[in-house]
Amino acid sequence: MRAVGAGVSQTRRVFIALPVLNEIENIELLLDRIDASLGETPYIVCVVDDGSRDGTRDYLAQRRAQTPETLAVIERTKTQHGSQRGGALYAALEWGLANTDCDVFVEIDGDLSHRPEELPAAIRTLDEPSVDVVIASKFVDGSQVINRPVGRELVSLVCSWAVHIFLSRRVRDYSNGYRFYTRRAAELITQTRIRYTSPIYLSEVLAIWLRAGLQVREISTLYVGRGEGLSKLRLTDLAKAAVAVLEIAFRYHVTGFARR
């Protein structure tokens, strides 16, 4: 990894997992903003592309040729219906642990809903005593959500509230994918049998961390909606997510999580 451009600390080494699918309109600006925000902090972004057909892959190939020290790309082909965000994040996590010595792991969306300018403050929070995981939470004081339909925000709030009730009240936002955690937390996930490759992966991972006694801190964030309307939600997907949450809750409270 190379040191780039004033950010966190040159003693930190940051690994960023970035799942994408058809993000040609956003990917260049996102990578530029990450670079500017981290400053001189050594980092690498691992982009997991799940089959983009809009030119995203071509752009990533060109950029990687120019900056191989800060960009890795994993190309996959989706074989299941719906978002496979969880599977993409897990693939990036395995790659990061195997190929880097990074001590900070970050997950961020590829559609600019998460602001890279929040990276330095969030990563510094990991320096606080006993903090293993930091979540940019939409539901804590000081957070804002903009450009998101009220209906979609209500669905998000109700879903997070339900998971909060069934799993643990220690966390308010189980669904936001802007997360920061230690290498120890990353290793715990790859040592555990993961059942979900859909976005419910986010709740499963949090349950694993909480069951293991890791300390989670939620911080305020500005979430920028990117046109995700209610029309993109399917009742069958919501039903599957509800069943998955109950299954995760059973493991969290009763059986524990099996090791790989």
* Domains delineated in the chain: 14-255 (3.90.550.10)
pLDDT digits (tens, 9 = 90+) for 100-113: 999 999 999 999 99
Identify the CA nearest to 175 among candidates 127, 126, 244.
Answer: 244
As beta bridge partners, residue 15 has 44, 105
Taking only the tens place, the pLDDT of each residue in 152-191 is 666 676 777 788 889 999 999 998 999 999 999 999 999 9
What is the overall mean pLDDT for the chain? 89
pTM: 0.90
pLDDT band of 242, cuts 50, 70, 90: confident
Using the structure block, give the residue that is written with the tokens 């964030």. Answer: 221
pLDDT in tens, 75-98: 998 767 667 889 999 999 999 999
Distance CA 17, CA 174 (A): 18
Question: Rounded CA gap, 73 and 141, in Å?
Answer: 36
Query: CA 99 to CA 215: how far, in whole Å?
Result: 26
